[in-house]
């Protein structure tokens, strides 16, 4: 489908009603239908990878390094092999030595370490045995002799001369270096009325899905099937096939239900690679799994990041130029982090309209677990920094923070300095609505002791403009097959429901496009063999991208049906339409045939009724190095206001109430959409105040459990309001945009600004823990008395 075939915003305006309300134009989309997997999930019938069992199945685990940096001198597996019940033990000698990672330039990871281990938790060997207990016991019997090497744990020192180097090919531990410049920042700052520089630090956070990772590998002759808790079966299939030199057609990757991902299940973990080898060696299915500690050790969470921001503004607060100078702690491998590094700078231009922008980034290797993509990929921490920085500027200028944002807010049909084209954008409306529903003005002017209210804005891509690895495959595709008697239809798609509800909304979209009903839809998704290709659940891409493919497939079904109906009913195709399972004459709707009747006739006369669709975004973005990252057909926008109460003696922060107003285009399922906002705010809130992965001076994680890595509980979550503004995105099916990741981007900034408002001191590092708040207040009192 080309861009020209899509409707214009003007046409759309006549078709689309309010974003929040029901829409008479549509039968299926825009409605809060219950989840297609709801019943399975409330009854316990829903099977996750770890729940699956196969005859003769073995259990497997990976042995990991106890040292942050060490040379492997020898590995002795003999004792482990002797333990009754152990069926296979493997090391680097038993697996391919091909390196993998996100892009050829940075393939830096092996299935098992060969010469050196690079972090506590690095993969060394694996065991398969008859049960879980035996596997754990066998791991303890593998003897690895190490020569411990000096480790680099501080990213700010990792680039210094004389520091230990992790990878031979990366001097000074520089994994990624980015220097981008647009316009003339130096000139803009020199000419500005006011220039402010602030420093912020973001912490290492972890996605912490409640379901631990697992993967079951099964061989039938030379074909490998991997059941995995993955966000992207396709990406796994690609790398598994590559490692083992198999054609992709000989590797089937599929998921059942996924217990959350948030970026942490986007790339292969080693469970798939090691499991495939163990299954081959033993001739039995092998289930590999992580426990909670191992999840933390594998990590791939949010990067620790050091952020310096300098911004020049004119007298009215209009932003003239911004310089972002960042260092990211990448951990021991690239993982998906090169993309995180680009995203960190790329999306700083999306919310506010300014011409001059400079972005410098150093992503460095350290002997810590690798960091990767976590909800909002790369954007939430820089956004926290920028939103906090902007409130500091507002205070300097004596301008209300909302007023300052309104003066700079991006408008529809504009282009960012780094060449992102923004078509729909209702940011101003979102800010105004958030201001009004939160009662901002009143709360800002009369606040009780310890109370504060703050705003933060956010935005995100509705799918990445370019694929996750270099390929010319379409980004999404879909097939719909109508059952022979028309009584049901099945959507086949590679899109991945990891909990966000894509199976449900894609079925709504399919039914809408076909003129069918949601209740009769079924779905087979995220199975590289049974469903057509899709890149999966990341970059908040599925509603728009998978949605386009599904819409096209549904429309193809409808076109074929109308064609058949025209013959039966004696009308021209143009005179007919199909909705709610009825094909009718547009001018005389009482003349109609049922969908099922015509579908059956189609099958009898022409064979299977199948529709297909695929989607590739148009060429997006500029020509500079890294121009691809941050491009998207569409961007969501959000304003969040948070009210907090701080105990000024203990530093305890209570989030009292929060309001989110979103521009996320046309909404397919309002209930699921708001639920995404709730969860996104929740995750941002956790990172704002509670969550941090902590290490000791040997690089060992101190809190690899859910008691000390504190996800907020139901008692910590505030009263929450999620609202929408009307919006329609011309580059998207039915005008949709993303919501799942963007909604987490404003949260840390809005909480930071609320705490600032409450206590008058800026906490510039995440998380804004009770102790940090206590310390800041103590310092403030000290300064006041001197």
Which range binds other proteins by CB under 8 A, 2-10, 69-77, 409-417, 769-777? Answer: 769-777
Question: Which residue stretch of 205-213, 301-309, 344-352, 755-763 sits at the interface with other proteins (rule: CB under 8 A)?
Answer: 205-213
Stretch of 103-111, 188-196, 251-259, 270-278 lying at the interface with other proteins (CB under 8 A): 251-259
**258 is a contact residue toward other proteins (CB under 8 A):** yes
CA 302/CA 300 separation, integer angstroms: 7
Buried residues in 519-552 as b, exposed as e (16+ CB within 10 A): ebbebebbbbeebbbbbbbbbbbbbbbbbbbbbb
The two counts, helices (H) then strands (E), for the chain are 20, 28
Task: Choose which of 483, 671, 698, 780 interacts with other proteins (CB under 8 A).
Answer: 671
Task: Report, in Å, the least distance between residue 78 CB and other proteins.
Answer: 20
Instruction: Specify whether the CB–CB gap between 578 and 587 falls below 8 A.
Output: no
Task: Point out which span in 115-123, 252-260, 453-461, 633-641 binds other proteins (CB under 8 A).
Answer: 252-260
Nearest CB to other proteins, comparing residues 480 and 498: 498
CB of 686 to other proteins, least distance (A): 9
Residue ranges in 595-654 that form contacts with other proteins under rule CB under 8 A: 649-650, 652
By rule CB under 8 A, what string of x and - marks binding of each residue 418-447 to other proteins? ------------------------------
Convert residues 484-523 into a mask of x (bound to other proteins by CB under 8 A) and - (unbound).
Answer: --------------xxxx----------------------
Sole binder of other proteins in the list 91, 166, 769, 776 (CB under 8 A): 769
* CA distance linking residue 234 with residue 218, whole number of Å: 17
659 counts as binding other proteins under rule CB under 8 A: no
706 makes contact with other proteins (CB under 8 A): yes
Distance CA 440, CA 453 (A): 8
Site string for other proteins, 21-40 (x = CB under 8 A): -----------x-xx-xxxx
Q: Cα separation of 643 and 347, whole Å?
A: 26
Distance CA 458, CA 439 (A): 20
Burial label, 716 (beta-carbon count in 10 A; 0-12, 13-18, 19+): middle
Helix ranges, 628-744 (H): 670-685
Tokens representing 147 are 């020569």
The smaller minimum CB distance to other proteins, of residues 594 and 705, is found at 705
Min dist. Cβ of residue 770 to other proteins (A): 6
Q: If we measure between CA atoms, which residue out of 562, 569, 549, 767 comes closest to residue 653?
A: 767
405/674 with CB nearer other proteins: 674
Q: Report the alpha-carbon angle 595-546-581, nearest 5.
A: 10
Note whether 259 binds other proteins by CB under 8 A.
yes
675 binds other proteins (CB under 8 A): yes
- Residue choice 169, 714, 782, 784 for contact with other proteins (CB under 8 A): 714
Residue 229 C-alpha from the chain's centroid: 15
Do 296 and 709 form a contact (C-beta atoms < 8 A)? yes
Helices 427-437 and 401-408, packing angle to 10 deg: 160
Burial pattern 101-127, b for ≥16 Cβ within 10 A else e, equals bbeeebebbbbbbeebbbbbbbbbbbb
Binders of other proteins among 274-313, rule CB under 8 A? 291-292
Calpha distance 137→120 (Å, rounded)? 20
Nearest approach, Cβ of 37 to other proteins (angstroms)?
Answer: 7
Output 181 or 765, the one with its CB closest to other proteins.
765
Residue 213 phi, psi dihedral angles, 5° rounding: -65, 140
Q: Is the Cβ of residue 313 or residue 777 nearer to other proteins in the bound state?
A: 777
The nearest distance, CB 700 to other proteins, in angstroms, is 12
Interaction between residue 262 and other proteins (CB under 8 A):
yes
d(CA 61, CA 88): 11
* Residue 153 · residue 695 · CB < 8 Å: yes
Contacts of 338 (CB under 8 A, 6+ apart): 102, 103, 106, 175, 176, 363
Residue from 325, 703, 726, 780 binding other proteins (CB under 8 A): 703
Helix (H) or strand (E) holding 597: helix 595-606
CA angle 19, 424, 723 (to 5 degrees): 35
Assess 260 for contact with other proteins (CB under 8 A).
Answer: yes
Q: CA 10 to CA 2: how far, in whole Å?
A: 18
d(CA 549, CA 464): 16
Among the residue ranges 275-283, 438-446, 607-615, 668-676, the one whose residues contact other proteins (CB under 8 A): 668-676
Residue from 447, 582, 775, 780 touching other proteins (CB under 8 A): that is 775
Rule CB under 8 A: say whether 163 interacts with other proteins: no
Our finding on whether 698 is near other proteins (CB under 8 A) is: no
Least separation in angstroms between CB 651 and other proteins: 8
Site for other proteins in 122-151 (CB under 8 A): 132-133, 136
Task: Please identify, among the stretches 93-101, 185-193, 597-605, 763-771, the one whose residues bind other proteins according to the rule CB under 8 A.
Answer: 763-771
**Nearest by Cα to 100 from 243, 288, 226, 241:** 243
Could you please report the per-residue DSSP string of 105-163?
GG--B-SS-SSEE-STT-EEEEEEESSHHHHHHHHHH-EEEEEE------HHHHTSTTS
Instruction: Choose between 84 and 448: whose C-beta lies nearer to other proteins.
Output: 84
Q: How far is the CB of 769 from other proteins (least distance, A)?
A: 8
Query: Between 195 and 777, whose beta carbon lies closer to other proteins?
Result: 777
C-alpha span between 432 and 723 (Å, rounded): 12
Do strands 143-148 and 521-525 pair parallel, antiparallel, or not at all (unpaired)? unpaired
| Residue number, 26 or 682, with CB nearest to other proteins | 682
For the chain, how far is it from start to end, CA to CA, in angstroms? 69
Site for other proteins, residues 39 to 68, rule: CB under 8 A = 39-48, 50-51, 53
Q: Could you tell me the smallest distance in angstroms from the CB atom of residue 526 to other proteins?
A: 13
The residue within the footprint of other proteins, chosen from 450, 712, 765, 780 (CB under 8 A), is 712
**Smallest distance, other proteins to C-beta of residue 354, A:** 33
Q: Which is nearer to other proteins, 214 or 243 (CB)?
A: 214
Which structure tokens are listed for 392? 């500091």
Least separation in angstroms between CB 42 and other proteins: 4
Question: Phi/psi class of residue 630: alpha, beta or left (left: φ > 0; alpha: ψ in -120 to 50)?
Answer: left
Number of residues in the chain? 786
Q: How many residues bind other proteins (CB under 8 A)?
A: 74
CB of 111 to other proteins, least distance (A): 24
Report in angstroms how near the CB of residue 650 gets to other proteins at its nearest: 6
CB of 209 to other proteins, least distance (A): 6
Q: Which stretch binds other proteins (CB under 8 A): 87-95, 353-361, 591-599, 671-679?
A: 671-679
Give the per-residue contact string, 207-236, with other proteins (x = CB under 8 A; - = no): xxxxxx------------------------
Report 715-734 residues binding other proteins (CB under 8 A): 715-717, 720
Task: Dig out the tokens for 507 from the structure.
Answer: 């079925």
- Reduce the DSSP state of residue 424 to 3 states and report it: coil
């Amino acid at each position: 489908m080309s861009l020209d075939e899509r409707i214009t915003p003007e046409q759309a305006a006549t078709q689309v009603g309010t974003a929040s309300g029901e829409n008479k134009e549509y039968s299926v989309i825009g409605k809060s239908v219950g989840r297609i997997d709801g019943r399975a999930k409330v009854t316990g019938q829903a099977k996750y990878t770890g729940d699956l069992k196969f005859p003769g199945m073995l259990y497997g685990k990976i042995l990991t390094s106890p040292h942050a940096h060490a040379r492997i001198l020898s590995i002795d597996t003999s004792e482990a092999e002797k333990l009754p019940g152990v069926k296979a033990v493997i090391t680097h000698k038993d697996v391919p030595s091909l390196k993998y990672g996100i892009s050829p330039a940075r393939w830096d990871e092996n299935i098992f370490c060969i010469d050196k281990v690079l972090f506590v938790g690095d993969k060394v060997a694996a065991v398969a045995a008859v049960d879980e207990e035996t596997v754990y016991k066998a791991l303890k019997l593998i003897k690895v002799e190490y020569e411990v090497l000096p480790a680099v744990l501080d990213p700010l020192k990792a680039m210094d001369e004389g520091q230990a180097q992790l990878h031979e090919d990366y001097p000074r531990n520089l994994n990624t270096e980015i220097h981008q410049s647009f316009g003339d920042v130096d000139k803009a700052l020199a000419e500005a009325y006011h220039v402010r520089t602030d420093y912020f630090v973001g912490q290492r956070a972890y996605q912490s899905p409640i379901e631990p990772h697992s993967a079951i590998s099964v061989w039938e002759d030379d074909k490998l099937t991997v059941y995995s808790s993955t966000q992207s079966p396709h990406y796994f299939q690609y790398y598994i096939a590559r490692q083992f030199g198999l054609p992709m057609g000989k590797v089937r990757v599929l998921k059942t239900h996924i217990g959350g991902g948030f970026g942490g299940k986007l790339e292969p973990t080693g469970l798939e690679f090691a499991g495939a080898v163990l299954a081959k060696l033993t001739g039995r299915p092998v289930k590999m799994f992580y426990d909670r500690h191992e999840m933390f050790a594998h990590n791939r969470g949010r990067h620790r990041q050091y952020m310096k921001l300098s911004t020049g503004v004119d007298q009215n607060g209009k932003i003239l130029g911004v310089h972002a100078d960042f260092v990211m702690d990448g951990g021991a491998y690239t993982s998906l982090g090169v993309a995180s590094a680009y995203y960190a700078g790329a999306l700083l231009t999306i919310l506010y309209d300014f011409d001059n922008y400079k972005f410098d980034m150093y992503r460095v290797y350290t002997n810590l677990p690798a960091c990767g993509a976590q909800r909002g990929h790369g954007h939430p921490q820089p956004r926290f920094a920028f939103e906090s920085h902007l409130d500091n500027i507002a205070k300097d200028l004596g301008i209300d923070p909302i007023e300052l944002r309104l003066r700079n807010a991006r408008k529809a049909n504009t282009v960012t300095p780094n060449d992102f084209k923004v078509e729909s954008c209702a940011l101003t409306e979102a800010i105004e609505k958030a201001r009004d529903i939160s009662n901002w003005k009143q709360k800002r002017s009369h606040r009780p002791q310890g109370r504060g209210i703050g705003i933060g804005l956010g935005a995100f891509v509705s799918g990445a403009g370019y694929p996750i690895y270099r390929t010319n495959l379409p980004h999404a595709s879909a097939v719909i097959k109508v059952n022979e008697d028309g009584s049901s239809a099945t959507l086949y798609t590679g899109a991945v429901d990891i909990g966000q509800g894509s199976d449900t909304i894609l079925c709504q979209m399919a039914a809408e496009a076909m003129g069918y009903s949601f209740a009769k839809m079924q779905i087979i998704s995220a199975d590289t063999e049974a469903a057509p290709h899709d890149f999966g659940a990341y970059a908040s891409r599925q509603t728009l991208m998978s949605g386009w493919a599904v819409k096209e497939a549904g429309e193809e079904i409808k076109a074929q049906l109308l064609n058949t109906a025209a013959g039966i009913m004696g009308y021209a195709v143009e005179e007919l339409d199909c909705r709610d399972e009825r094909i009718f004459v547009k001018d005389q709707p009482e003349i109609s045939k049922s969908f099922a009747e015509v579908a059956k006739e189609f099958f009898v006369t022409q064979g299977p009724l199948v529709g297909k669709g695929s989607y590739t975004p148009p060429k997006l973005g500029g020509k500079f190095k890294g121009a691809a990252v941050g491009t998207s057909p569409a961007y969501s926008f959000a304003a969040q206001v948070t009210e907090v109460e701080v105990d000024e003696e203990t530093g305890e922060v209570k989030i009292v109430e929060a309001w989110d107003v979103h521009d996320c285009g046309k909404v397919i399922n309002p209930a699921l959409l708001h639920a995404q906002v709730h969860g996104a705010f929740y995750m941002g809130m956790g990172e704002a105040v509670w969550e941090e992965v902590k290490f000791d001076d040997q690089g060992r994680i101190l809190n690899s459990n859910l008691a000390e890595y504190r996800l907020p509980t139901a008692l910590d979550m505030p009263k929450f309001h999620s609202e929408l503004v009307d919006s329609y995105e011309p580059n998207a099916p039915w005008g949709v945009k993303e919501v799942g990741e963007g909604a987490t981007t404003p949260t840390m900034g809005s909480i930071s600004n609320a705490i600032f408002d409450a206590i008058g001191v800026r906490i510039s590092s995440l998380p804004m823990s009770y102790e940090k708040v206590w310390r800041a207040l103590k310092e403030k009192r000290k300064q006041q008395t001197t």
